[in-house]
Chain A
Amino acid sequence: MQTIDMETTSLRDLNATLHAQAEMTNQTAWSIENPKGAHAIACGLDAPIDVTVKGSTGYYCAGMNKQATVNIKGSAGPGVAENMMSGTVIIDGDASQYAGATGHGGLLVIKGNASSRCGISMKGIDIVVHGNIGHMSAFMAQTGNLVVCGDAGDALGDSLYEARLFVRGSVKSLGADCIEKEMRPEHLELLADLLERAGADAKPEEFKRYGSARKLYNFNIDNAY
């Protein structure tokens, strides 16, 4: 286990050290002490390493992540795991706005609640939230899966494309062109796998599925150039 203390190591040096870990590194476990809400911790990683952040983080923690597993032992500020490509990001506490925004791949697990705009414009990432999510979540979500074990706020899935949204609790309101859809066996199977990987104690049968009605302007072929 390698330990980096942010009281004594600058953010730039911390990230440079993590970036220097090659594909075949044998230093696979990293612990970051005293994050104290700093921004951009463990951003742009691209190696199969495990990074544990011992506290709460500020903006953009684990952004653009590839391969790495980042576990935040506190809450995360805005834009956690933004544009993640692969790997896993686990937040033990809550996440602030636009968690997992524009993510292309990998798994983001939020054990507490997520705030507004969770999964906005997601492009293939899987997001599992154990608690609730805020308003405008999955706005313009293109593909990937958003699983919410609690409730969803206003305007869920507004202007959605092909992303699948699964919510166990209530949905305050659906956004434009977002509708409830039937839960077919392949969805239950997908959901069971995601819940298991995210360590969420919920049954797939308890969820409802939401997706795009495909009625907006952009879905009409006559509007294509």
Chain B
Amino acid sequence: MKSAGLIGMSALLLTASLAGCGASSSSAPPTKNIKDITIGTLYAKSGAFATSSMPEYSGLKFWASQVNKTGGTYVKALHKKVPVKIVAYNDQSSATTATSLYSQLITVNHVNILVADFGSVLTSVAVPVAQEKKMLLFDQTGTGASFFTPSNPYVVLTSLPTSGLWPTSLAQYLIHKGYSRIAIVYATNDFDQSQDQTLVRKLKAAHITPVYNNGVPTSTSSYSVLLNNMAHTKPQAVIELGYPNNDIAFMQALKASGDHFNMVFTIFPGQLPQLFTKTLGASSINNTYTYPAPPLLSFSHVNYGLNTTQFESAYKKATGQSTNFLSIAGYNTGLIIQKTLSTANSLNQLSLRHAVSRFSGSLSTLDGSFKINSEGAQIGETLPVAKISTNSKGQLSIKFVTSPNS
């Protein structure tokens, strides 16, 4: 009898569990009571993504401070300007921690707008949570192609095309130069391996088979042996696809080896030039190739927000920090949110999503043309290839080798 009672009680509690789970869905405050627009986001103050996440978060905060100086952002649904408030948590570069924090922002903080942390890993966990809670996710730089599906209307990529599209211009350049001996080393993660696949596919279509194409763990910090193996294949072009830490380790190994190749390409010097010149010295990236991103890539036609020169000056004054691509990406996210709020007829999340589609293609910011496809993926921005040059004072300049508008 006691056992039966215990089982009965257990069943009752389990039923309560089911009921409790169902009852915990998010409930945003009524629109008329909104005193400020809360923007929930995460940042990584430590760990593998800190160097990229912090400038991006800083750019978003800068946008919020700029908007609040003018009395807030115009919210069409409220017919007035409303101050912006950022609610942010530190996920310490952990996807596990990020999962509970995204959930915290939606279910406990009831933020009006949800913004993802930097990159695909920390964005990936936000995608299903946002979709399940019916919350539009402003994805800043999570370029994983799998995030964007026809069945999910709750995600919008604000900067950069999906990573599989990145090497288009690089492949064009390699083919145009007639390089037949190409060596590629890539970090085995979603971001880099998808680029490798695209690059190899495009090269093979032009009847070029890379002489070396190997993946290494993303945690790789020594490329000396790999570089030696690559050098033995006598490549004309050496392509290294990795995260900033991989690129830095690769460049260090290249410098130490004394090897020389006609072309050396890495991804992040174009996004984080200060990090590379500070860590490796300007001469280490001289004459190498990269994808230049704003502010190295400057757009003359800006019809929304500050242009590159204005941003660099105002950002430096406000934060004391130099501008890099990720701070621009964070600011750009703010601009997209601002435009969304001024376009949407209500603060309903699907209404926000429809608003983004309405102004897609008509917005030009310092980050380039903002245009998304029906699945929310960015298709307006392009990534050309450029050659980096540094002078004796360590100043850096770039020369486009493919068209910035291609």
A binds B: no
Footprint of A on B, CB under 8 Å? none
